[in-house]
Amino acid sequence: MEDLNYIAGFFDGEGSISISWQKTPNTFRKRVCRSTVSIGNTDYPVLKYVQSCLGGTIHFIPQRNKRWHASWVWKASTKEAATIIEKLLPYLRVKAKQAKLLIEYQQYKDAIQWRGRRGYTQEEWDTIGSFRDKMRSLNANSGNKVNHSVKDSTQ
C-alpha cells in the first residue's frame, strides 16, 4: 500500500494519461485509438522502481537540446495501462478523473468487437473518438485548477 501511495503521488505530479489516435501500417486498420499512461523523468532508478511494482516498459530519450537532460520514459498501453490505473486510482488526487475515464474507455473497448476488414461500426468509432475528446479536455484543464477555498490569512 505504501508503494502504491508513493507511486500515485509521483504519478499525479509527473505522469500523464492519454487516449490518442495512432496511425498503423496495417492496410485494414488505418488508425487505432490507444490508451497510454507514462512518466517521464531523469531519475532512472525511480522509474525502474515503478516498473518493478507495476510493469510497463522504460525507454531512453536522448538529449535533444543542449539545455535539456537525457531522460527516460516509463510507459504502459491499452489493457496494461487500465490495470495499472485501477491499482493507483484509490490514491490519485490530481489525475483521478482521467484515471476513471481511461478505465471506462478500456471497458468499452473490451465490450465491442473488431470485425476484421469491416472494423468497428461508425457509432463505435464515434464513441471511441468521444472518449479521446473527453480525455483531451480533462488534460487541457487539469493544469488550470486553483483551490479558491483557501482564504488569505492577511485579511
Q: Where are the domains of the chain?
A: 2-142
Give the mean pLDDT of 61-72. Answer: 88
Q: Which of 2-16, 99-113, 114-128 shows the lowest per-residue confidence on average (mean pLDDT)?
A: 114-128
Cα 135 to Cα 154: distance, rounded to the nearest angstrom:
38
Is residue 49 within 8 A of residue 70, CB to CB? The reply is: no
Please check the confidence at residue 5 and state whether its pLDDT lies above 60: yes
The count of residues in the chain is: 155
Band (28; pLDDT cuts 50, 70, 90): low
Instruction: Choose which CATH entry (3.50.50.60, 3.30.300.30, 3.90.550.10, 3.10.28.10) describes domain 2-142.
Output: 3.10.28.10
- Tell me, what's the pLDDT at 94? 96
For the entire predicted model, the pTM comes to 0.84
Give the mean pLDDT of 68-84. Answer: 95
